[in-house]
A = this chain, B = another copy of it.
Amino acid sequence: MTSQFDTETAVTPIAPGRYAAAFGPGWVVGRAINGGLSMATATRAALAALNEPEGHQRWEPLTVAACFLTPSQQGPVELETEVLRAGRSYAAAQVSLRQPAPEPATAAPVERLRVLVTAGTLPGADVSPQRSVPAPTLPDPADCLGPRDAAADFLPGMTLMDRVDLRLDPTTASWAMGRPTGKGVLRGWLSLADGREPDPLSLIWALDALPPSSFDLGIPGWAPTIELTAHVRARPVPGPLRVEITTRTLYGELLEEDALIWDAAGRLVAQSRQLAGVRPIRTDRGTG
**Inter-subunit contact B251/A132 (CB<8 Å):** yes
A118 on the interface (CB 8 Å rule)? Answer: yes
A169 on the interface (CB 8 Å rule)? Answer: no
**Inter-subunit contact B114/A114 (CB<8 Å):** no
10 nearest A-B pairs in the assembled complex, by CB-CB distance? A87-B288, A65-B65, A229-B229, A131-B250, A63-B227, A123-B252, A129-B251, A130-B250, A69-B85, A88-B288
Shortest CB distance A217–B (Å) = 7
From B88, B94, B252, A114 is in contact (CB under 8 Å) with B94
Asked if A111 meets B90 with Cβ closer than 8 Å, knowing A129-B251, A229-B227, A251-B234, the reply is no
Q: Interface readout for A69-96 with B: 1 if CB under 8 Å, 0 if not?
A: 1100000000000001111111110100
Number of copies of chain A assembled together: 2
Name which residue of chain B comes closest to A114, CB basis: B84
A176 on the interface (CB 8 Å rule)? Answer: no
From B127, B227, B255, B268, A252 is in contact (CB under 8 Å) with B127
Set of chain B residues within 8 Å of A120, measured between Cβ atoms = 226, 254
**Inter-subunit contact B67/A84 (CB<8 Å):** yes
Shortest CB distance A253–B (Å) = 8
Shortest CB distance A288–B (Å) = 1
Residues from 122 to 140 in A contacting B, C-beta threshold 8 Å: 122-123, 127, 129-133
Set of chain B residues within 8 Å of A34, measured between Cβ atoms = none
A256 on the interface (CB 8 Å rule)? Answer: yes
Set of chain B residues within 8 Å of A254, measured between Cβ atoms = 62, 120, 233
Set of chain B residues within 8 Å of A129, measured between Cβ atoms = 249-251
Name which residue of chain B comes closest to A111, CB basis: B84
**Inter-subunit contact B84/A69 (CB<8 Å):** yes
A248 on the interface (CB 8 Å rule)? Answer: yes
**Inter-subunit contact B114/A227 (CB<8 Å):** no
